[in-house]
Amino acid sequence: MTDRFDTFPLINGVRRLNGSAHPFEALYLYVREKENRVLNDQQVAQLPAIEKDHEHAKEWAKRSETAHRFLEYLKSKETGLRILDIGCGNAWFSNKMANQGHEVMAQDLNLYELEQGRRVFQNDQLHFIYAHELDAILENDRFDMITFNASFQYFGHGKQLLETLKSHLTERGELHILDTPFYQGEREKQQAKSRTEMYYQNMNCPELAQFYHHYALDDLVEHEILYKPKFSRLSRLFGKTVSPFCWIKIVND
């Protein structure tokens, strides 16, 4: 699957399709450090589980719920799928998919976390790709599944991107978007955009706002919603974890 990348250097187990750093990387890591979101190798190995007293434990509980739901769904598929996980970060989720018997290409432009993922997850079915653009990975290739887990919001021109990715799905291929916020209408999107700009300003990194995008479901191509959050009084009362994110499935039509 990755033979066509053999001409690119393999350094610390990561296939590097680009030789220099992307401007996003240093900014992103600077903020993630401040947010206490850069985890050590032992923590990454356990994800999505994390220490109960970790600052982001509640968020990981929600992410764990999403991952569990998706991985159960994946179990209903034949094994040996070729999966492209876009914006994989430290690849904890890519590794879970590979562990179910699939071949996963874990792509990101965040070399620090890719190298960490390679250190932590030793799986022959998991390939780590450092690439600034998706074109070099897509080329004439097709995938049985493409996933974005908490990463779609980092890509601009969402509709156009999805149209392109759809054309790189196999006949019964599927694209899934998980753990990305979607807003209702222009007003909500604008408000969220302003909050994002303010947030990164306060983080002393206003440049990062340009890499974060806000979408409504209407901004996507035709899709199916496989999960929609339902917040009931009972779930609130019992403090039940409810993921606030929709799960979106897009197929090659």
User: What is the Cα–Cα distance from 73 to 77, expressed in whole angstroms?
Assistant: 7
The answer to the question of residue 89 lying near ligand SAM (CB under 6 A) is yes
- Choice between 54 and 236, CB closer to ligand SAM: 54
Contact residue for ligand SAM among 5, 28, 121, 247 (CB under 6 A): 28
Report how many residues bind ligand SAM under the rule CB under 6 A: 16
Contact residue for ligand SAM among 66, 116, 151, 243 (CB under 6 A): 151
Q: What is the dihedral of CA 121, 127, 133, 135, to 10 degrees?
A: -160
The answer to the question of residue 150 lying near ligand SAM (CB under 6 A) is yes
Q: For ligand SAM, which stretch binds (CB under 6 A), given 52-60, 81-89, 158-166, 232-240?
A: 81-89
Task: Point out the residue whose Cβ comes nearest to ligand SAM.
Answer: 89
Q: For ligand SAM, which stretch binds (CB under 6 A), given 51-59, 76-84, 86-94, 157-165?
A: 86-94
Query: Which residues are at the interface with ligand SAM (CB under 6 A)?
Result: 24, 28, 87-89, 93, 107-110, 113, 149-151, 154-155
